[in-house]
Amino acid sequence: MLRETIQRLKCLWRLSGVLSRLRLETHIDELGLIHDLVLSSRFNQRNLDNVLLHRGGKELADFSSQRDLLRAVEMKIFSQNGEDGILSFLVSRIKNPVRAAMDIGCGGKSSNTLNLICNREWTGVFVDMSGKALNETKRNAAVGKVKSPCHYLNLNICDDGSQEKVKEALDGNEIGVLSIDIDGLDYWIWKEVQLDAQIVVIEFNPSFGPEKSLTVKNDPTFNINEAHPKRWFHGASLEAMRRLGLQKGYGFVGVDSNGVNAFFMRQDLLRASGLQEVSSEEAYYPHFQRPEPIDEQVKATNQMGALEVGEDGEVAASAES
């Protein structure tokens, strides 16, 4: 009982940011929905949906830009930033979402998919090379009272046979949400993953700036803590991710306001969603924990041997060698 009470109080604190970020007038029914969401024995996902739809899907015309819209629907339950709210909103724009999510680099303390798995009873597959991170994710899932099937795979997704194991766990190739967050070779992982995801959320590196199209080399020994003293050099730029997404059949819709994750929707679903593709410059936010001027970050990271990603989403073969 004590653990459950503590968890609810944590959730109340996490959701307190909702009211401060509302772009619309706060109505009594919204306050009631949030109250029900926090105090119910299980988070009431229908109420969460109603809050998000009131602020987002039913009021699209009230926002001056899609960037502002995504910021308004941010909500943090299990995610590190506002990804839970953005993903719930994006899922609500799909007529028949596939109720399965895969989290590559689940990270332990936070997860972009646990809200969907705990509160919508989606099937979940968690993949991480760290057994410790997987165990922490299991504990978080237990606190969230997961009732749907979950699979925890301690493996490198790029190893031979790994994707077959994932497809076995998913019982198919199509999923609703794919999340990739590994603080390093994110571009290369997404490039290799052969899953048909309706929505993709992937970490990008804002220190490359909004215009450059760059990724780190595909080096399995890459370590973010060793690459740069301030952890500025990792992953790929927002523009590189946008180009790769286009190559794989996805439209880029925006990023969270902390400048950590980029969101994509499959092109056929995006056309029916009421949302639009946006440019990297339109959507960009700097990283919330990197106060140095972005020009300083760009200058530093551009001198560290990153590879350029072309308009076709590919790195030149000569550059990879």
Nearest by Cα to 65 from 255, 293, 271:
255
Tell me which CATH code domain 76-320 carries: 3.40.50.150
**Could you read off the pLDDT tens digit of each residue along the chain, which spans 321 residues?**
555 555 555 555 455 444 444 333 333 234 333 433 443 333 445 445 545 554 544 456 667 889 988 988 888 878 888 898 899 889 989 999 999 999 998 866 788 998 888 878 899 999 988 888 888 888 888 776 777 888 898 888 877 778 788 878 777 778 999 999 988 899 999 998 888 999 999 999 999 999 999 999 999 888 888 989 899 999 999 999 999 999 999 999 999 999 999 999 999 999 999 899 999 999 999 999 999 999 999 999 988 999 999 999 999 765 565
- Which residues face 309 on adjacent strands? 315
Cβ atoms of 84 and 76 closer than 8 Å: yes
For the chain, domain boundaries: 76-320
Coil/strand/helix, residue 301:
helix
CA 66, 285, 56: angle at the middle one, nearest 5?
Answer: 25
| Rg (the chain; Cα; Å) | 19
3-state SS class at 60: helix
E-strand stretches of the chain: 100-104, 123-128, 150-154, 174-180, 196-203, 214-215, 250-255, 261-266, 307-308
Would strands 214-215 and 307-308 be described as parallel, antiparallel, or unpaired?
Answer: antiparallel
Read off the pTM: 0.83
Q: Which of 87, 81, 80 is nearest to 117 (CA)?
A: 87
**Per this entry, what is the length of the chain?**
321
DSSP-derived pairing of the beta strands 123-128 and 150-154: parallel
